[in-house]
Amino acid sequence: QVQLQESGPGLVKPSETLSLTCTVSGGSISSYYWSWIRQSPGKGLEWIGSMSYRGSTNYNPSLKSRVTMSEDTSKNQFSLKLTSVTAADTAVYYCARFHLFQTSKWFDPWGQGTLVTVSS
Amino acid sequence: DIQMTQSPSSLSVSVGDRVTITCRASQSISSFLNWYQQKPGKAPTLLIYAASNMQSGVPSRFSGSGSATDFTLTISSLQPEDFATYYCQQSYSPPYTFGQGTKLEIK
């Protein structure tokens, strides 16, 4: 079964770039769509964006100007970059498979999550 | 953006209780509604997709219903392992949005 694991720095300075990687095991990233979701006490669960292995992406308009998602098929990984971070970007970041079936879509499974704190 | 509103925000319940959680969308989303369970310190896990379809491995005491703007998640007989926070999420159109969560607490 597919499993996901997030990795990356737990502390990022304001105005810098947050970079996270999600490593997929038990399946090829070339077979599915993938997403990033974050959770903070203030904003709850927030969809950041989704991408296909072909590289097509769809971002939350509220973050679109700062977000880039990409994939590395050789490592079976996909990644998130969020530029110009502020304290409001402090959250637990999850990667998840974005499952599409006919016209329905859902997030399953999720990685365990990684806490990213924005602070100087 | 489509706003998802859950009620109640929290619920004090006992083992064996029947629990109903409501989720309302700010516009019609057909049946593009999913339910997740989250336990403290853990990632959400999928319970129900497309409003009423149970994810494999989910106990049959969980069920979902509804369409358009009004949806419910029902737990027929609450078990100790069901004390958690539950979220609805719409997949009708991006940005895909979540409800604020309903926390089940022990009475």
Residue A30 backbone phi and psi in degrees, to 5: -75, -5
What are the chain A neighbours of B33 within 8 Å (beta carbons)?
none
Distance from CA of A117 to the nearest CA of B (A): 16
Strands (E), chain B: 4-7, 10-13, 19-25, 33-38, 45-49, 53-54, 62-67, 70-75, 85-90, 102-106
According to the model, what pLDDT value does residue A21 have? Answer: 98
CA dist B3 and B97 (Å) reads 7
Minimal-distance CA residue of chain A relative to B101? A44
Of B46, B95, B98, the CB nearest to A44: B98
pLDDT at residue A95 is higher than 90: yes
Judge whether A52 and A78 are in contact, CB under 8 Å. Answer: no
Q: Which amino acid is at B51?
A: A
Query: pLDDT digits over A4-58, tens only?
Result: 999 999 999 999 999 999 999 999 999 899 999 999 987 899 999 999 877 799 9
What are the chain B neighbours of A110 within 8 Å (beta carbons)?
43-45
According to the model, what pLDDT value does residue A42 have? Answer: 79
> Cβ contact (<8 Å) for A47 and B42?
no
Count of C-beta atoms within a 10 Å radius of residue A66: 16
A 4-43 near B (Cβ less than 8 A): none
Interval A65-88 mean pLDDT: 96
Of A44, A47, A111, the CB nearest to B96: A47
Q: How many CB pairs under 8 A join A and B?
A: 59
According to the model, what pLDDT value does residue A52 have? Answer: 87
- Alpha-carbon distances, residue B60 vs B34, B51, B74, B79, B81 (angstroms): 16, 15, 10, 12, 14
What are the chain B neighbours of A62 within 8 Å (beta carbons)?
95
Count of C-beta atoms within a 10 Å radius of residue B43: 21
Burial of A21 (0-12, 13-18, 19+ CB in 10 A): middle
Q: How does the average pLDDT of chain A come out, rounded? A: 95
Under-50 pLDDT residues of chain B: none
